[in-house]
Amino acid sequence: MAEEMRVLLKYADHINPESAEDYIKVGGYEGLKKARSMERKDLINEVKRSGLRGRGGAGFNAGMKWSFVPPNAPVKYVVCNLDEGEPGTYKDRIICEKNAQALLEGMAICGHAIGSDQGYIYCRGEYPFVVELLKNAIASAKSSGVLEGFNIEVRMGAGAYVCGEETALIESIEGHRGEPRFKPPFPGVEGLWAAPTVVNNVETFACLPYILVNGAAWFAGIGAEKYPGTKVLTLTGDINNPTYFEVPTNYTLRDVIYKLGGGIKNGKKFKAVQVGGTSGAFIPEQNLDTPIDFDSMGAIGAALGSGAVLVLDETRDVVDVVTRISKFFEHESCGKCNPCREGTFRCREIMEKINSGRGSEKDMDNILLLAKVMQKAALCGLGQAAPIPIESTIKHFRHEYMRKVL
């Protein structure tokens, strides 16, 4: 198996992503029509049965998430997370640039399922051109009448990685500092302006039209059994084809790197791959035959996350790269909770000490202990995931650390 499977990106570059008419010509908005002919409960069950799980990184069953919204609440919101701040990730930008109308349709389907007529797209501040594209796409969909009473507003973030966390994102839409909230209550019960809110990733929403048109069973039959469908991956680093691909979720890492990615650049050998963005684990050669789906990656102590794939060749200094990553988390920690604010600072401090040849094995023990504390005690995913690159490289590339410690 070396072929892509394009569902979301099937008509990439063949249609104008802003044009609802173009999208309708290739079967667009049929899923929404079908959704609107269904009872809300049946629609949520259909999405549950498809097995669609969140494509932003947490992998939660989408239909299940929707089912938490109390049906009798007077106001509800549909929020799309387009904050993709995970370094190495640009798949949500690609989905918007190639098939923006599918995102709008998916949001409207969710709107019908939970009884909401207002959607928000929270787009990261780094993508002002995507904000423009989406505004034009919304205007096109509105004028063609397909969205009926469902409104979508685009809000632009301003450069804060933590706003990818759904409650921090909600705070940011409300015009506040993007600091995560304590949970519970979860957004499904009390989210944007205290109203029940579904927050899903761009890719999750964009899957919905295809699930509705082709049926839950069709989607559930693609790729891995427990994390079905396709996944858009973005390849970066020392790879011959640094681009995006859409593959079924049972595709293996080795095929991603060697078949689609064309292997390691400049004829060099493979050293490590970091999957899921900068908060992901580094994976050694012996685990490359693992399928990319959420649970298979979890079983090897890694995560699919956002689907970013950063490849490092044999010449790369793993300790140096991880030191750089530890600076990222120190910079992006919002400072609300102590384990993350102090933990990311100390991680960076210890990593710099080791990287500059002044560290000891005791420092490695300390950083592993700190990693445990952060994973257990940090308020949100940022602080919990921040030590994963450190832990995974001490586990798989200990010899590289040992070369640098006193």
Which positions touch another protein (CB under 8 A)?
A: 84-90, 93, 124-128, 155-161, 172-178, 193, 234, 236-238, 242-244, 274, 278, 308, 310, 312, 316, 321, 324-325, 328, 331-332, 334
Residue 103 CB, nearest approach to another protein (Å): 16
Does an H or E element contain 25, and which? helix 20-25
> Which of 105, 391 has the CB closer to another protein?
391
Rounded to a whole number of angstroms, the minimum distance from the CB of residue 293 to another protein is 22
CB nearer to another protein: give 90 or 210: 90
Starting at the edge strand found earlier in the chain, the sheet holding 244-248 runs 244-248, 230-237, 308-313, 270-275, 282-284
Question: Smallest gap, in angstroms, from Cβ of residue 244 to another protein?
Answer: 7
Both tokens assigned to 319: 């300790």
Long-range contacts of 45-50 (CB under 8 A, 24+ apart): 46/211, 46/212, 46/216, 47/113, 47/208, 47/211, 47/216, 49/216, 49/217, 49/220, 50/211, 50/216, 50/219, 50/220, 50/228, 50/229
Residue placing its CB nearer to another protein in the complex, 93 or 98: 93
Helix (H) / strand (E) containing 33: helix 30-36
Indicate the residue among 199 and 212 with the shorter CB distance to another protein: 199
The nearest distance, CB 160 to another protein, in angstroms, is: 5
172 vs 344 by CB, closer to another protein? 172
β-pairing, 308-313 vs 270-275, is antiparallel
DSSP state of 190: S
Provide the minimum distance between the beta carbon of 236 and another protein in the complex, in angstroms, as a whole number.
4
Least Å from the CB of residue 24 to another protein: 29
Structure letter (DSSP) for residue 176: S
> Of 17 and 31, which has the nearer Cβ to another protein?
17
- Nearest Cα neighbor of 53 from 224, 278, 275 is 224
